[in-house]
A and B are shown apart, each in its own frame.
Chain A
Amino acid sequence: MSTTLTRGGPATGRTPGAEPSRRRRVVATPGAWLVWGAVGIFLVTLLGVVGSVLVNSFGTQWFDSWMPNGYTLQWYSEAWSEYGLLAVIITTLEVAVAVVALSVILGVPASYVLARQKFPGKKIVYLLFLLPIMMPPITYGIPLATVLYKFHLAGNISGVILANLVPCVPFVIMTMTPFIEQIDPSIEHAARMSGARTWSVFTRILAPLLLPGILASSILVLVRTVGMFELTFLTAGPDSNTLVVALFNSMNAAGIRAQQTVDSMAVIYMSVMMILLVVALRFVNPTQLVSQVKEEQTD
């Protein structure tokens, strides 16, 4: 696009990073090799990490060779019955759904206020909502578990839900606030000028406009909750373990059971996450899973 502009300029046309020649030179420069090499190494490692779990879970015996001697599904049935995986998966889904619903109900109204108006103490409120995201779960998880045990709320599913809500409510707020900000306030004003009261403005105008944002942030909360280890670990009782905690427990008790059952459980966990991920990626941009920044659609 800027070829004619830069070609005449001094010292720009031929440098490796220059835009006009990028398409041609991606393969050619040493910098590009280095970058793609690093990405490649990372991806191979990732593949190895995921692949070895996958292969081991299907293998009969696997000692000093590249691949297992034979393949079987027995580890899956073993893991399924020994760890009571059906119950664990049901608990996991119950926790996830409850956390999503509650965090949307609590978070969206608050994010509306944060997006739309200034008020005294707004910075403090904002910081309060930001802290649970910034702090690592284990820091506030221990005092939180103490309090929940004190009120006999921990050690069962309600404790797991409450603990998981702590980072998720702020997460919904932080993802929804920029989403609401980009909805022109004059649309709400227009509804008011047409005679709509606050309730109608919310149900008829805002709710339909916010739906995509709510959906996106719900899915992100779902992924986070299923993957959240620390908080669930600290507050779960024997009957309220989610999949990730059950996996940790089985790994930590290694030696008692065959490594393969642990791996097959890991594969089940992985499949749950992958299904969620595939669903999530239908609705949200990959970077949103990380950055909470609502990117404009550019591609």
Chain B
Amino acid sequence: MTNASFSELRLESVGRSFGEQEALAGLDLTIRSGEFIALLGPSGCGKSTALNCLAGLLPLTAGSIWMDSRRIDTLPPEKRGFGMVFQNYALFPHLTVRKNIDFGLQMRHLPKADVARRSTEAVRLVHLEEHAGKLPGQLSGGQQQRVAIARAVVLEPSLVLMDEPLSNLDAKLRLEMRTEIRRLHQSLGLTTVYVTHDQEEALSMADRLVVLRAGRVQQIGTPAELHTQPVNWHVADFMGFRNLFPATVVNGGRGVLGDEVVVDVDGLRLVGAAAAPITVGEKAAVGIRPEDLQIIAPNDPGTTAGNVIRAKVSVVEYQGREFAVEVRTATGIRLHLRTPIRLDAGDVVDLRVPAERLLVFPGGNDLPVEEAPLGETASADGRLLREAS
């Protein structure tokens, strides 16, 4: 009586608009059986909309969803046979843990014995044997989370949908549950679509990631692909390229991907790799991860080898094994780096970045304009403005 599994679930140009506003547009995605897919993006990017469309909780305004050869986007949620874990768990507050898990089985009119057997199994799977008779309000956040997962997987759904299930947990519990969900996925082989805004979570759990921004897919790929080869600066921003600044391509751009290009940043020449086809004269965005910026000694022979940026330290944060440092160049670009070397505000450092680690993305015009941080004047002298009291 469980749902027929599928070999392929296809989303074809799925779109959803609210009035004039497009929350999601042109989503094409094929989910293979057993896959763990993460939908990743900042809040308001359309990832939850996509999940609700898939669940049937939101009707589509464009496109269609196919389960093998069956069209399912016209079915109401209760007939799709999917399981869902909600961000706030959405446990039935008036039912005990056990009855919460029983509910879906009862809705399928399974024999009593089957309901009991399967819910016992599910309770054991999430280690809640001792709490089975409690109401959700008597459980901790992590335990509620487990009930929500058990309630969804007990139906052996053909697809499990998870809507930021870990966002309400504290940092330590989040790490534990992350492993737990991954383990559950591996042991039960349930096809999963997982929505999150946490790139680390997505990278560590998913087989494939879908990065969304403003309702549109930016990139679909494996964690490794996204981590090393983001296709545009938006994805890069999400993948940890904290240093992003505008530049102009001055040499080498032959419109080929991975090409070595030279860019000009306010008079400074830097060599990097094109993340997407780009040509000379084009406006570009330069992206560097903080960990790829190395501090070099002033008289290091590397200083003359190029790709060196001179900057003044403005903020130093102690972070255990290393320091997170913010520096500013003479032209006012703010850079972030990590270093084990102790620095003080006001120190002048030379930074080098390997050419293959400096990614050049087309279209730097829409980079956000940096705002002057709190307590600092915009005069770029790196000195904190003291309050005059």
Residues B90 and A189 in contact, CB atoms below 8 Å apart = yes
Supposing A186-B88, A189-B57 touch, asked if A194 and B82 sit within 8 A by C-beta, the answer is no
Task: Determine, out of B101-109, B179-187, B332-340, B359-367, the stretch whose residues face the partner at the interface.
Answer: B101-109
Chain B neighbourhood of A193, CB < 8 A: 55, 57, 77-78, 82-84, 152, 161
Chain A neighbourhood of B93, CB < 8 A: 187, 209
Residues A189 and B84 in contact, CB atoms below 8 Å apart = yes
The answer for the CA separation of A195 and B161 in the assembled complex, in Å, is 14
- A115 proximal to B (CB < 8 A): no
Residues A190 and B84 in contact, CB atoms below 8 Å apart = yes
- B195 proximal to A (CB < 8 A): no
Residues A194 and B94 in contact, CB atoms below 8 Å apart = no
A–B Cβ pairs within 8 angstroms, 9 of them: A186-B90, A189-B86, A193-B55, A193-B83, A194-B104, A195-B78, A195-B104, A195-B107, A209-B93
Count A interface residues, CB 8 Å: 17
The answer for the CA separation of A194 and B160 in the assembled complex, in Å, is 11
Chain B neighbourhood of A186, CB < 8 A: 86-88, 90
Distance in Å from the Cβ of A228 to the closest Cβ of chain B? 34
- B352 proximal to A (CB < 8 A): no
Count B interface residues, CB 8 Å: 26
Chain A neighbourhood of B56, CB < 8 A: 192
- A299 proximal to B (CB < 8 A): no
Residues B57 and A194 in contact, CB atoms below 8 Å apart = no
Chain B neighbourhood of A197, CB < 8 A: 78, 107
The answer for the CA separation of A190 and B107 in the assembled complex, in Å, is 12
B residues 45-95 in Cβ contact with A at 8 Å: 55-57, 76-78, 81-84, 86-88, 90-94
The answer for the CA separation of A196 and B57 in the assembled complex, in Å, is 13
Chain A neighbourhood of B151, CB < 8 A: 190, 194
Supposing A197-B78, A205-B92, A208-B94 touch, asked if A191 and B103 sit within 8 A by C-beta, the answer is yes
The 4 residue pairs across chains A and B that have the minimum distance between CB atoms: A194-B104, A195-B107, A186-B90, A190-B90
Chain B neighbourhood of A187, CB < 8 A: 90-93
Distance in Å from the Cβ of A26 to the closest Cβ of chain B? 36
Contact with B along A112-132 (1 / 0, CB 8 A): 000000000000000000000
Residues A204 and B84 in contact, CB atoms below 8 Å apart = no
Chain A neighbourhood of B104, CB < 8 A: 194-196
Chain B neighbourhood of A205, CB < 8 A: 92
**Closest residue on chain B to residue A211 by CB atoms:** B94
Chain B neighbourhood of A184, CB < 8 A: 88, 90
**Closest residue on chain B to residue A205 by CB atoms:** B92
Of the candidates A192, A204, A209, the one whose C-beta lies within 8 Å of that of B78 is: A192
Distance in Å from the Cβ of B220 to the closest Cβ of chain A? 25
- A200 proximal to B (CB < 8 A): yes
Residues A194 and B90 in contact, CB atoms below 8 Å apart = no
Distance in Å from the Cβ of A199 to the closest Cβ of chain B? 11
Contact with A along B118-155 (1 / 0, CB 8 A): 00000000000000000000000000000000011001
Chain B neighbourhood of A194, CB < 8 A: 78, 83, 103-104, 107, 151, 155
Chain A neighbourhood of B90, CB < 8 A: 184, 186-187, 189-190
Residues B86 and A190 in contact, CB atoms below 8 Å apart = yes
Distance in Å from the Cβ of A123 to the closest Cβ of chain B? 17
Q: Which label, helix, strand, loop or mixed, suits the secondary structure of the A interface?
A: helix
The answer for the CA separation of A184 and B163 in the assembled complex, in Å, is 15
**Closest residue on chain A to residue B57 by CB atoms:** A189
**Closest residue on chain A to residue B52 by CB atoms:** A189
In the complex, besides A192-B56, A200-B107, A208-B94, 19 extra interface pairs with C-beta distance below 8 angstroms are A184-B88, A184-B90, A186-B87, A189-B90, A190-B84, A190-B91, A190-B92, A191-B103, A192-B76, A193-B55, A193-B77, A193-B83, A193-B84, A194-B103, A194-B107, A194-B151, A195-B78, A195-B107, A204-B103
Seen from chain A, the residues whose Cβ lies within 8 Å of a Cβ on chain B are: 184, 186-187, 189-197, 200, 204-205, 208-209
Chain B neighbourhood of A189, CB < 8 A: 55, 57, 77, 84, 86, 90
The answer for the CA separation of A184 and B90 in the assembled complex, in Å, is 7
Chain B neighbourhood of A208, CB < 8 A: 94
Residues B103 and A196 in contact, CB atoms below 8 Å apart = yes
Chain B neighbourhood of A209, CB < 8 A: 93-94
Chain B neighbourhood of A195, CB < 8 A: 78, 81, 104, 107-108, 155
Residues B94 and A192 in contact, CB atoms below 8 Å apart = no
Distance in Å from the Cβ of A89 to the closest Cβ of chain B? 37
**Closest residue on chain B to residue A183 by CB atoms:** B93
Chain A neighbourhood of B84, CB < 8 A: 189-190, 193
Distance in Å from the Cβ of A48 to the closest Cβ of chain B? 47
**Closest residue on chain A to residue B157 by CB atoms:** A193
Residues A192 and B77 in contact, CB atoms below 8 Å apart = yes
The answer for the CA separation of A194 and B151 in the assembled complex, in Å, is 8
Distance in Å from the Cβ of B143 to the closest Cβ of chain A? 17
Distance in Å from the Cβ of B194 to the closest Cβ of chain A? 15
**Closest residue on chain A to residue B87 by CB atoms:** A186
**Closest residue on chain A to residue B81 by CB atoms:** A195
> Most B CB atoms within 10 A — which of A190, A191, A196?
A190
Contact with A along B173-198 (1 / 0, CB 8 A): 00000000000000000000000000
The answer for the CA separation of A204 and B105 in the assembled complex, in Å, is 14
Distance in Å from the Cβ of B283 to the closest Cβ of chain A? 42
Chain A neighbourhood of B83, CB < 8 A: 193-194
The answer for the CA separation of A184 and B87 in the assembled complex, in Å, is 12
Distance in Å from the Cβ of A195 to the closest Cβ of chain B? 4
**Closest residue on chain A to residue B103 by CB atoms:** A194
Distance in Å from the Cβ of B108 to the closest Cβ of chain A? 6
The answer for the CA separation of A149 and B311 in the assembled complex, in Å, is 91
The answer for the CA separation of A197 and B78 in the assembled complex, in Å, is 7
The answer for the CA separation of A192 and B90 in the assembled complex, in Å, is 12
The answer for the CA separation of A28 and B259 in the assembled complex, in Å, is 82
Of the candidates B57, B108, B152, the one whose C-beta lies within 8 Å of that of A192 is: B57
Chain B neighbourhood of A192, CB < 8 A: 56-57, 76-78
Chain A neighbourhood of B86, CB < 8 A: 186, 189-190
